[in-house]
């Protein structure tokens, strides 16, 4: 096995989560600079540039200048091979953003120091918690006026319910930003703006005990504040405990400024020291160890129209064990078919590279003739197991769909079902009637536009969407034991069913959910749908 094990163990696969504008893209770019993938930096997202980043697979993305889809970036740093799963940066993210987290072993959470925890971070964080994945926090934009450091940490603890452990500590912010204090080495690293350089630049590193030098470098006032804060911090913050970090109960926190390239490499090094090699994954026969098993993977995302000319679909897989060899045959478990994966590729920013091999921890995209579904397992022909499915995440926006031309019923149903199978939208029906009434649920409202656009362009069907006031959907966990018709809901509650016939409840606000649960003591509701 030798080399194989070494290759797997040097892999680190993580997702970056943040609220739009916190600096996720800037941080990713800086990571890439350290890895020598300089040609990629700047192409991660080209908001202001002509080079339209990550993906311009769909016209909608081009028109709006945003990235609807996620992408994967791979780079080398030291001896590590790092896979970054980028998630769409726009407010209108989709279920794919959530699913991306299912393919990562850890997450980096970027927070804007002047804002603290924001809405999108909160949502993505919930998914991390559900999977107990370790979270590493980078508090960004310290070169701008920031909120009080203790307050920021408190915000994370209260809002997200996770303990924090500062790895370093900022000295001032905005115009008064002097650098960070590294708690482990007890050294101060002075701030230097190296935005234009490619590497972290001429920062000085001085032991905090050298008080006179410290005072000279950062000023007496800043030094006094720092010394006070260190004392407070050592008394008040959670002890560093790697086990707790790995269980997702404690988040290490670093401060810096991605734009000026300060604190990024320090963060990257700490992160790589603490994060894990590719983790074992749960399958129906138990945990599958990445090193001890031959090739296996699961599909976490399906992307249509990667290439407009060919109307193709690409299935993204996370390799969970062993080595992928493009010449070998594999088994698609759900389709019960032995096959060769077609055109395996690595999707990097706007480039695609055909692969001949890849290892556990890596993400590959393969051409999908329409056979894969999200959550499917691929393994060696002789192996017989399936990975745990990916949950369905609760949409937050709902609309009733009507066809303009009722003669095109068939195309309409085919189109909407196919788009739903790719996981871009979820479709529901009235509980007691058939397909006449279709309700579409999406995680981000942009998906409504994507749906309309795709139905028109690919299926030649025009639709009208009528927004519905619901914001919450709940799966009924124990629907087999309950008479759905007898649930005593609030007046705004609506009963629907998904395409598999599972009953669900729609609510206008969270208060109604609580009320319904109060009125039906034996009802068990869930935010995540399971296969």
Where on the chain is the footprint of ligand G4P (CB under 6 A)? 18, 20-26, 47-48, 89, 140-141, 143-144, 257-259
Nearer to ligand G4P, 256 or 322 (CB): 256
Of 76, 91, 257, nearest in space to 168 by CA: 257
CA-derived radius of gyration, the chain: 25
Backbone angles phi, psi at 361, to 5 degrees: 105, -25
Q: Report in angstroms how near the CB of residue 163 gets to ligand G4P at its nearest.
A: 24
Q: Report in angstroms how near the CB of residue 87 gets to ligand G4P at its nearest.
A: 9
Cα 278 → chain centroid: 16
Nearer to ligand G4P, 175 or 500 (CB): 175
- 497 exposure class (CB count in 10 Å sphere: 0-12, 13-18, 19+): middle
Nearer to ligand G4P, 20 or 172 (CB): 20
**Contact call for residues 130 and 201 (beta carbons, < 8 A):** no
**Contact call for residues 494 and 504 (beta carbons, < 8 A):** no
Nearer to ligand G4P, 87 or 275 (CB): 87
Nearer to ligand G4P, 47 or 132 (CB): 47
For the chain, give the number of residues: 531
Distance (Å, whole) CA 374 – CA 412: 22
* DSSP per-residue letters across 105-132: SEEEEEEETTT-S-HHHHHHHHHHHHHT
Going by the DSSP 8-state scheme, the letter that residue 204 receives in this structure is -
Q: Report in angstroms how near the CB of residue 361 gets to ligand G4P at its nearest.
A: 24
Backbone angles phi, psi at 505, to 5 degrees: -120, 135
Nearer to ligand G4P, 189 or 425 (CB): 189
Nearer to ligand G4P, 65 or 280 (CB): 65
CA angle (349, 43, 174) in 5-degree steps? 125
Nearer to ligand G4P, 21 or 159 (CB): 21
**Contact call for residues 505 and 525 (beta carbons, < 8 A):** yes
Nearer to ligand G4P, 89 or 423 (CB): 89
Nearer to ligand G4P, 102 or 259 (CB): 259
Q: Tell how strand 106-112 and strand 11-18 pair up.
A: parallel
Distance (Å, whole) CA 290 – CA 391: 22
Nearer to ligand G4P, 193 or 357 (CB): 193
Of 93, 41, 102, nearest in space to 66 by CA: 93
Number of neighbouring beta carbons within 10 Å of residue 236: 9
Q: Report in angstroms how near the CB of residue 124 gets to ligand G4P at its nearest.
A: 12
Q: Is the dihedral of CA 42, 47, 50, 55 positive or negative?
A: positive
Q: Report in angstroms how near the CB of residue 303 gets to ligand G4P at its nearest.
A: 20
Collect all residues with Cβ–Cβ distance below 8 Å to 366 and sequence separation of at least 6. Answer: 314, 315, 317, 341, 342, 343, 344, 345
Nearer to ligand G4P, 45 or 472 (CB): 45
Nearer to ligand G4P, 48 or 485 (CB): 48
**Contact call for residues 126 and 120 (beta carbons, < 8 A):** no
Of 9, 232, 208, 14, nearest in space to 103 by CA: 14
CA distances in angstroms from 507 to 394, 466, 490, listed in the order given = 12, 17, 8
SS (H, E, C) 365-400: EEECCCCCCCCCEEECCCCCCCECCCCEECCCEEEE
Q: 440 - beta bridge partners?
A: 399, 427
Q: Report in angstroms how near the CB of residue 112 gets to ligand G4P at its nearest.
A: 8
Q: Report in angstroms how near the CB of residue 42 gets to ligand G4P at its nearest.
A: 10
């Amino acid at each position: 096995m030798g080399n194989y094990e070494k290759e797997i163990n040097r892999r680190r696969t993580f997702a970056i989560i943040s609220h739009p504008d916190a600096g996720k893209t800037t941080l990713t770019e800086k990571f890439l600079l350290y890895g020598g993938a300089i040609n990629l930096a700047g192409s991660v997202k080209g908001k202001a540039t002509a080079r339209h980043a990550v993906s311009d697979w769909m016209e909608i993305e081009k028109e709006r200048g945003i990235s609807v889809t996620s992408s994967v970036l791979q780079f080398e740093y030291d001896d590590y091979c790092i896979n970054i799963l980028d998630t769409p940066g726009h407010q209108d993210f989709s279920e794919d953003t959530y699913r991306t987290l299912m393919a990562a072993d850890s997450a980096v959470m970027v927070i804007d120091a002047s804002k603290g925890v924001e809405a999108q971070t909160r949502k993505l964080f919930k998914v991390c918690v559900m999977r107990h994945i370790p979270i590493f926090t980078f508090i960004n934009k310290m070169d701008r006026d920031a909120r009080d450091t203790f307050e920021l940490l408190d915000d994370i603890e209260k809002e997200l319910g996770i303990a924090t452990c500062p790895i370093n500590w900022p000295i001032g912010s905005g115009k008064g930003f002097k650098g960070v204090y590294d708690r482990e080495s007890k050294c101060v690293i002075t701030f230097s703006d190296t935005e234009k350089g490619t590497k972290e630049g001429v920062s000085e590193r001085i032991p905090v005990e050298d008080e006179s030098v410290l005072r000279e470098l950062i000023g007496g006032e800043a030094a006094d504040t720092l010394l006070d804060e260190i004392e407070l911090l050592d008394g008040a913050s959670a002890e560093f405990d790697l086990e707790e970090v790995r269980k997702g109960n404690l988040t290490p926190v670093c401060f810096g400024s991605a734009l000026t390239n300060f604190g990024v490499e320090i963060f990257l090094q700490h992160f790589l020291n603490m994060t894990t090699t590719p983790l074992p994954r749960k399958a129906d026969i138990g945990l599958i160890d990445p090193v001890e098993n031959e090739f296996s993977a699961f599909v976490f995302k399906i992307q249509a129209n990667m290439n407009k000319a060919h109307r193709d679909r690409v299935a993204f897989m996370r390799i969970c064990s062993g080595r992928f060899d493009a010449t070998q045959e594999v088994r698609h478990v759900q389709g019960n078919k032995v096959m060769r994966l077609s055109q395996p590729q690595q999707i990097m920013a706007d480039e695609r590279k055909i692969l001949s091999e890849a290892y556990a921890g890596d993400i590959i995209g393969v051409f999908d003739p329409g056979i894969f579904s999200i959550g499917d397992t691929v393994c060696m022909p002789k192996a017989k197991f399936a990975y745990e499915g990916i949950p369905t995440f609760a949409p937050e926006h709902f609309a009733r769909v009507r066809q303009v031309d009722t003669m095109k019923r068939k195309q309409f149903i085919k189109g909407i079902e196919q788009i739903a199978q790719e996981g871009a939208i979820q479709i529901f029906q009235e509980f007691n009637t058939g397909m006449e009434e279709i309700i579409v649920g999406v995680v981000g409202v942009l998906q409504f536009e994507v749906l309309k656009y795709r139905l028109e362009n690919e299926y030649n069907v025009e639709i009208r969407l009528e927004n519905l006031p619901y914001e919450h959907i709940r799966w009924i966990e124990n629907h087999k034991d309950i008479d759905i018709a007898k649930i005593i809901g609030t007046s705004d509650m609506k009963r629907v069913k998904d395409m598999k016939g599972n009953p669900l409840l729609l609510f206008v606000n969270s208060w109604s959910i609580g009320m319904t649960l109060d009125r039906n003591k034996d009802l068990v509701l869930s935010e995540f749908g399971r296969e």
